[in-house]
Structure 1
């Protein structure tokens, strides 16, 4: 498996001139720094680039030649996914806020009384709801959550590459992992940070 076209452009750019800051690289590509951040992380993780504080990115060499791409990208997320952090749909906004920060996660998965996936609540959802409501005990999770079917889910056999593509495409930080035979049943979650951690572990 090869790098994406954009990643190859970044490598060629740094081969020609190093160091370059993230902002300089983004400007030359006509993109924003947040857009290329994942590319820079990956290229650094597989040791093609080196990130030097206050200096920028430096071309290190074709270290990717020894990378096991099958293990890096094609591994099923069942091997790296994390437990789902759930909350009932009749929980209050206050309960949701407490659970999210106590468990230190970015998203809560909302389940109904049958433990079926009903929606999800992100940190942004909670902040928005908190600002708009003076009594967090009076608002239920079901009111502020993003509802099914407006949620992108994956199954345990989804590859790391596919999950990463979905996270980027839909601009979300995590995806619920559901049972392939029973799509309403949550079995875990996969996040941007977990995929990045996987890349680092394999580098």
Structure 2
């Protein structure tokens, strides 16, 4: 498995001195803790580092033989994607709120009468709409949703790395997976949490 230059630097730091807290590592790198959080999660997930509560991170050892770049990053998301929570564009705001919490998801994908993707609604969208509308039964999902073509979609044959880069680039938590031959047909979803879970499962 290939680590980034920053990840390699973190490994060398902890080889030389362990334990170090996230704040201490960030300070030595002249970066913020949120900037390196993803690196620390990955290195912990692949068991190069171990995180000890109230102590910090310690060097655990190179576990590269057991994990390959291919397994972690080049796997198609068809193997890890999840079912999408879908709602009709003529559903009410109240229905959208109920569905989001009943299914415990962060995003609802909105489809039209032909089951074609036309938009999405996030928790933030619902919260904002709830504050701005006294009668949630009178507001339709189509009014508060983010509309196509302002939605980034992915296909099931794309790799974990490709999709992860899109999630980071567009600063979103979830992306709809669509049929490659029918780009407005939703077949599932992929989230930041699911990708992180994938890394943990491979450790």
> What's the counterpart of residue 115 of structure 2?
115
Q: State the TM-score, normalizing by the size of structure 1.
A: 0.95
Q: How does 1:41-190 map to 2 (within 5 A)?
A: 41-190=41-190
Distance 2:136 2:27 in 1: 44
> What's the counterpart of residue 33 of structure 2?
33
How much has 1:143 moved relative to structure 2?
A: 1.2
Distance 2:58 2:157 in 1: 36
Structure 1: gaps of 5 or more residues: none
> What's the counterpart of residue 13 of structure 2?
13
Q: Secondary structure at the match of 1:64?
A: coil
Deviation string 1:116-162 (CA, Å, 9 cap, x unpaired) is 11111111111111122221112111111111111111100000111
Q: After the TM superposition, which of the residue ranges 46-55 and 34-43 deviates more from structure 2?
A: 34-43
Structure 1's 31 and 138: CA in aligned 2 closer, same or farther, altered over 3 A? farther
Q: Secondary structure at the match of 1:19?
A: coil
CA contact (8 A) 1:153 1:177 kept: yes
Q: Secondary structure at the match of 1:35?
A: helix
CA contact (8 A) 1:92 1:140 kept: yes
Q: Secondary structure at the match of 2:136?
A: coil
Q: Secondary structure at the match of 1:9?
A: helix
Distance 1:166 1:152 in 2: 8
Extract structure 1 runs of 4+ deviating beyond 3 A. Answer: none
Q: Secondary structure at the match of 1:194?
A: helix
Distance 1:9 1:113 in 2: 53
CA contact (8 A) 1:47 1:64 kept: no
Structure 1's 10 and 105: CA in aligned 2 closer, same or farther, altered over 3 A? same
How much has 1:13 moved relative to structure 2?
A: 2.2
Distance 1:147 1:137 in 2: 21
Distance 1:147 1:30 in 2: 40
Distance 1:167 1:157 in 2: 16
Distance 2:81 2:179 in 1: 13
How much has 1:184 moved relative to structure 2?
A: 0.6
